[in-house]
Chain A
């Protein structure tokens, strides 16, 4: 009853040299997403440059600084977040661990998302045998305990970063596959897909131009949530002794190494845990913002100048 077509002011010309500026102003309109992007840029910079400068400090034990409490500047500002069980500064270790963590988590998430959604698109769109077989494969993977699968594979292969990514990716593929397939099955029957078929559009065009853009927001949301899961899964593999091995470090590994000291030195677990949470949260906020920006029906919320809109 109150449906009104939005103000024509939202007319936008096509992407041009101003695209970056438009993107930035849209980002500025959502302050939370803005903070998230800044945090993610910092994490990325740490991941790239951290190991170059801080590698040495993080591997040198310092027994006088064992479990040093946080916010005590007497041992230098590197110890502002405290020291770990061998007296290594936590701040430096978190910065250096960002690299391994990001490589494993991003690698596993991106790989599982691409493979999973590609298989999901095939399974959902094809009416032939592939549509029957692929979901069954996903069922097989899902019915197999993922940790057990990881243990078997990593027991046989060397527990290197690459293998870890492969194992984690395989166990997460069914999630994307099932979601994509379910959405495609529904979108395939929508009128605009039928309209494209009537115009003679190729299957490739229908799948990539009409179906994928509608599924993508769901997939990125799942992917960002999955980021945290993968980081923790990686830490449990490290705990079992088949993931990343010390002296290499990841955030997840730091959490699991700090666990025996939880009652006496909470900061050993807390800071790397906080890093995991903040990264996931930032990614989630960013994906939320992306979802709004990429949807022409919602973009006006940001174009209106970022008034409070949930």
Chain B
């Protein structure tokens, strides 16, 4: 039988928890060859990271237990190897990079020292290691590599840190590089750069690259072959093109059809008069201009998306509008009054009309309150909305409206999945019968299929209750499907604003064009075209 570089055969891993045994992966087999990019695609809880963790011996036993299977690396079974022999392979021949680079870099050492250290530990002389480190940093595209070795992790941006992690992983010239959601925490433009870097490094060194991801776009961009996982089992495998264009399994079909960015774009005629208009809004933190002279109009029953990279001032805009932070200058007119100048009493009344849904529902719901208490708190604060005897009935009604069941009101937030929690957060916002809901990255923390459901829900509520949304997002395909108008921000300034069709089909500004070009399409063919176009432009 032909030998693969890394071959996982019939692997099953169980986790023994207080509530019984969970079969994290069942009978999973995949292999990786030299010079190949394999993607493991799956949603949270699908067990996509487990087999990679098993390769690197990162599963804690107990509670974990490898119940069957073998992992062959160069023909030797890693699972039966001595701990010492495994250490020689881990890090040296199989390296890994993680989603969150900051937590894997030690803040008290310079990055140069940390990269050198991995080489010194494995027997390279200190000054040779230093030379090689500078070379590596150049290779991963960090500006001024000689200076960079003397800097500390906090002095780098998120994308640069991920480059550092890659440099560190490559220090020992591994045969296999495992990347666990390497770009999930990054902006789209940076994501494109990192993926391109991984790809060129992989070509150059001929290593095998394993990418674990939930994003079809990442698969389309970089993978040769893909393995789709659901609930601990492999449901489909094949080349990236084949799987996308001709999915066999029902789950894969569902996943591909749920990918955002394929629906019709809104034509949305806007009302005559904006219901909310912000003018000349400015906010500075010290010398940093978070928002600089921002103008924004929101029309009745419309969805205005605010897009931009991190640090562009999207969330600050929301905070100013909700008076969680105070603006330095400018005004925000709503129903003939300036929101920034409301007295505490007027502000309290205004709160009813403008509500917010936060990014992470796990954090935005008080873990100690039941769902009933979370939703009815709105009426404790604003007792004029609803008399107490009707609360229970209304909570049940709201829960049904957002697609949950009435009896869920006695449970606590931790008993729900992420998507359900976000529905609860939406129900809470609706309890005050608002006219405007600000969604700050409200679907970014959710899985693709859940994301589509929540977007559908928001869409339906908008028409039923005549709501307007300010939808803050970094994920452009979602915006394309959901928004009526789009406002593009960069460094606290408005770059471009217009109807969604105009922004996506004929963007006027370079920044918008770059943003659109960097976002990943789930179709490998489209992605290949874009890649070719990028290369052409670069030459």
Contacts and interface: CB of A to CB of B under 8 A. Distances in A.
Interface of A: 1-8, 10-14, 190-192, 194-202, 205, 209-210, 213-214, 294-297, 301, 304, 307, 309
Contact of B19 (A7, A197, A198): A7
Contacts of B370: 296
A195 B432 contact: no
B378 A199 contact: yes
Contacts of B358: 191, 194-195
A213 B368 contact: yes
B347 A296 contact: no
Given A4-B19, A210-B366, 7 more contacts: A2-B22, A8-B411, A13-B410, A296-B367, A296-B370, A296-B414, A301-B18
User: Which 5 pairs from chain A and chain B are nearest by CB?
Assistant: A200-B351, A191-B364, A296-B412, A191-B363, A192-B366
Contacts of A14: 372, 410
Contact of B381 (A12, A194, A199): A199
B415 interface: yes
Contacts of A192: 363-367
A307 B378 CA distance: 38
B537 interface: no
Interface string B409-427: 0111011110000000100
B355 A297 contact: no
A14 to B, nearest CB: 7
A205 B417 CA distance: 28
A200 to B, nearest CB: 3
B353 to A, nearest CB: 11
A1 B45 contact: yes
12 contacts: A1-B44, A6-B19, A11-B407, A11-B411, A14-B410, A195-B365, A198-B324, A200-B348, A201-B377, A201-B381, A202-B381, A205-B381
Interface in B10-39: 15, 17-19, 22, 24
B154 interface: no
B416 A5 contact: yes
Given A2-B15, A8-B415, A198 B367 contact: no
Nearest to A301: B18
Contacts of B404: none
Nearest to A214: B368
Contacts of B416: 5
Interface string B359-375: 11001111110101000
B44 to A, nearest CB: 8
A2 B377 contact: no
Contacts of B360: 191
Nearest to A213: B368
A190 B45 CA distance: 25
A50 to B, nearest CB: 39
A195 B364 contact: yes
Contact of B428 (A194, A195, A202, A297): A195
A10 B410 CA distance: 9
**Main secondary structure on A side of the interface with B:** loop
B163 interface: no
A11 B348 CA distance: 34
Nearest to B356: A198
A10 B365 contact: no
B45 A199 contact: no
Contacts of B382: 199-200
Contact of A198 (B322, B365, B407): B322
Contacts of B410: 11-14
A297 B413 CA distance: 9
A296 B378 CA distance: 21
Contacts of A199: 351, 355, 377-378, 381-382, 428, 432
Contacts of B495: none
A33 to B, nearest CB: 18
A202 B347 CA distance: 12
Contacts of B365: 192, 195
A198 B415 contact: no
Contact of B352 (A3, A13, A200): A200
A200 B411 CA distance: 24
Contacts of B381: 199-202, 205
A287 to B, nearest CB: 17
A2 B18 CA distance: 12
Given A11-B410, A200-B351, A1 B367 contact: no
A2 B355 CA distance: 34
A6 B358 CA distance: 24
Given A196-B377, A199-B378, A6 B415 contact: yes
A191 B319 CA distance: 12
Most B CB within 10 A of own CB, among A4, A6, A191: A191
B50 interface: yes
A234 B334 CA distance: 63
Contacts of B364: 191-192, 194-195
Given A191-B358, A198-B356, A199-B377, A309 B367 contact: no
Given A192-B363, A295-B368, A309-B18, A198 B351 contact: yes
A4 B47 CA distance: 12
Interface in B389-437: 407, 410-412, 414-417, 425, 428, 432
A191 B374 CA distance: 13
Contacts of A307: 18
B202 interface: no
Contacts of A2: 15, 17, 22, 24, 45
Most A CB within 10 A of own CB, among B44, B410, B415: B415
A295 B368 CA distance: 6
Most A CB within 10 A of own CB, among B15, B18, B417, B432: B18
Contacts of B367: 192, 295-297
A1 B24 contact: yes
A153 B364 CA distance: 48
A8 B154 CA distance: 43
B49 interface: yes
A213 B370 CA distance: 14
A214 to B, nearest CB: 7
Contacts of B425: 195
Contacts of A194: 324, 358, 364
A156 B472 CA distance: 65
B346 to A, nearest CB: 11
Nearest to A200: B351
Contacts of B324: 194, 197-198
